[in-house]
């Protein structure tokens, strides 16, 4: 009964990664390259999804008195942060701009780099957005005032940073200039 809630980006993300890896393997496509290409366009879908959350009055923010607050039909009488718009901006527009910049600068030469930056960027965007978003009613706040979205994003940061480091190391070794021989003229 998905229409009663419970869908999470984090679970869908793992399922999508598995599907992409299986597809890449079945077609003989390098897996990290497949993930990099998928990562570049994913922020577009995230942006559109967050705009749909806003229009549908879903996943609204915490009660606030900022001048741009909204009274959501499903959110009670109090004005709330339009956290869907914050997430759409960070996960969609900002993250897409970063990945597009990296792609234009040749980051695809480092398989896993763009995917790693996507995972880190999403994790950071989600953690920041969670400070403004009302936590899920069925879960609420967890240890130290953290939300489930924050806790699920922490492993993403670790995995993404690891992917960036591995891609950088592999790329640096691959593109390293050969050393000159002792007897070679300079």
Give 90-115 pLDDT, tens digit per residue.
999 999 999 999 999 999 899 999 99
157 vs 24, more confident: 157
* pLDDT number for residue 36: 92
> For residue 91, what are its two tokens?
């996960």
pLDDT of residue 40: 93
Between 138 and 155, the higher pLDDT residue: 155
Res. 141: pLDDT tops 60: yes
pLDDT, mean of residues 47-59:
90
- Confidence class for position 160, pLDDT limits 50, 70, 90: very high
């Amino acid at each position: 009964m998905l229409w009663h809630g419970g869908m999470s980006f984090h679970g869908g993300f793992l399922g999508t990664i598995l599907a992409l890896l299986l597809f890449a393997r079945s077609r003989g496509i390098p897996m990290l390259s497949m993930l990099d290409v998928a990562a570049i366009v994913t922020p577009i879908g995230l942006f559109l999804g967050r705009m749909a959350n806003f229009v549908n009055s879903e996943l609204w923010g915490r009660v606030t008195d900022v001048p741009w607050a909204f009274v959501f039909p499903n959110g009670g009488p109090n004005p709330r942060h339009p956290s869907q718009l914050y997430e759409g901006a960070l996960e969609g527009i900002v993250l897409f701009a970063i990945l597009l910049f990296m792609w234009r600068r040749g980051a695809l030469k480092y398989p896993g780099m763009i995917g790693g930056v996507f995972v880190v960027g999403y994790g950071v965007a989600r953690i920041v957005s969670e400070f403004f978003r009302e936590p899920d009613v069925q879960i609420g706040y967890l240890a130290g005032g953290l939300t489930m979205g924050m806790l699920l994003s922490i492993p993403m940061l670790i995995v993404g940073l690891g992917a960036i480091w591995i891609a950088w190391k592999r790329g640096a070794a691959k593109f390293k200039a050969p050393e000159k021989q002792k007897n070679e003229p300079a």
